[in-house]
Amino acid sequence: MKRPFIAVLFVIILTSPSYPGQRLNIFYQNDLHGWFFPSAQEAGLPKVLEILKEENQKGLLNFYVVAGDIVTGPRLPEDKKGRVELEVWGLYQGELDQIGFRGRHILSLGNHEFDHGFPEILKELNPICANIVNEKNEPYFRPFTIAKERDISVSFLGLIMDDYPKVNGVLKEKGLRVEDLKGSIKKYEPFICRADITVLVIHDNISDIKELVEGLSDDSCIDVVITGHTHITTETPIYMKGKPIVQAGSMNQFLGKLELEYEEGKVKVVQNQLIPLFPDKFTYELMNFKEMVSEQKGNSIALVRSSLHKPKGKIPNEGTLGSFIADAIRWKSKTDIAIINNDSLRKEFHVRYGPLPLREGDIKEMYPYKNKIVTGFVKGGDLLRFVQGEIEDFKNQISGFSYTLKMGEKTVLESIKVGEREIDLSRNYSISLPSVLVKSENVAGLLHNLPISSIKETPYTISESAIEFARRMKLIDYGEGTKRIIVRR
């Protein structure tokens, strides 16, 4: 029922022109508990986005509501718990905006949002929660939101349970407290009741919610109650005082869809369904394959801040993957220099948005062979001729020495340094490299006939040495390169 308009403490969004018909969908979830990602068992949030995008293209007005508890689920490092889930949710909200749900996705709060103290990032997600207040009885979060579109206005009031000791303790340290549920509804009814349809989004025990709804006045404007906390599924809504109460299970297993019809001031439930969020057969097999691979990778041994990539093109250039493996070879064998051939490097490690964990299995994918490290000696003059061979036919990545090229009509080798010093053409330098490279055909084909004396095979494999090297480094960051191959134009 429409009432005179009062504007305070809420957001009104005007977007589309008049729409023929008064039907709309409210998609709802609750208690996702961090299970956002796809796996062989779950389809994850990408599937939710896919469904919402398809539904939005059908022409009806759609809302998406989550009734609290988006954190505390998968095992996480202690310093990530209660934080990484909220960071990911912020990105998810951006994706919802992109598919046409800007202003029509609503998050309310649950008790688990406060499992790890008061998360300051929470306010950035702009949730609705009317009954968390400060010492002046002012709401800390926005208490409700109202969206008006296609001649229908819908209000959403958010509430969190008022009797949860841990939440109350965390809030007290912040100078906040939880007001009682019934009093908060009464406090905001003058505002939320101005909408055509009023939705209560509440996180509490279902028995307490039923009692709360039963205690509402007969003329209460609340039309729909979306709930969380008890992890129940309501294929058929629970009705109290004619008001549908719905909940969509937990752990991102279902997406609820409540289809409503608004006509002559009355709200009618056309249909309620729970859409399963399980992977299809192909996705199941694909994710099962991935999980088998991940299992073989073992535990994290380091963080990688920037991508480890192979060299690009035929002109000598540094590939940071080769730099990392060559550095590991030289570190393990304690030689002056090291060389590794480009075509032995396999899988790159891409970092696009922030540091990623590196696992033993990742290194074995980068260098999947069982080659051991061999050591020997090369003369400075022979090393010079090796670099000149690289100019003509680029084959290798290096460690412990660097060279500078001037590109023009003819490429000119300007300098070679071993460590920080100019190369000494008469000096013997210790060298380490993969055992496969000292085979005669590879000395000719890959090393430009570089003479190596006193060759000795070590017991160390390259992949295990790189794993040990990564553990020692802890943070691997080669940036765009380390200027060991410099090309000037």
Span 50-94, pLDDT tens digits: 999 999 999 899 999 999 999 998 888 888 899 999 999 999 999
**Does an H or E element contain 94, and which?**
helix 84-96
What percent of the chain is modeled with pLDDT above 90? 83
Is the pLDDT assigned to residue 7 strictly greater than 80?
A: no
Question: What's the pLDDT band for 241 if we cut at 50, 70, 90?
Answer: very high
User: Concatenated DSSP letters for 21-47?
Assistant: S-EEEEEEE---TT--S--SS--HHHH
Coil, helix or strand at residue 120: helix
Are 308 and 276 in contact by the 8 Å Cβ rule? The answer is: no
Contact 27, 61 (CB under 8 A): no
Cα(320)–Cα(402) distance, rounded to whole angstroms?
A: 14
Which tens digits make up the pLDDT trace of 11-29? Answer: 433 333 334 448 999 999 9
The amino acid that residue 45 corresponds to is L
Domains of the chain, each with CATH number or no CATH:
23-284 (3.60.21.10), 298-488 (3.90.780.10)
Helices 84-96 and 44-56, interaxial angle, to 10°? 20
- What is the tens place of the pLDDT at every residue in 184-208? 999 999 999 999 999 999 999 999 9
Is the pLDDT confidence value at 253 over 50? yes
Both structure tokens of 384: 């010079």
Of the candidate ranges 277-291, 419-433, 463-477, the one whose mean pLDDT is the lowest: 277-291
- By DSSP bridging, strand 23-29 and strand 61-67 are parallel
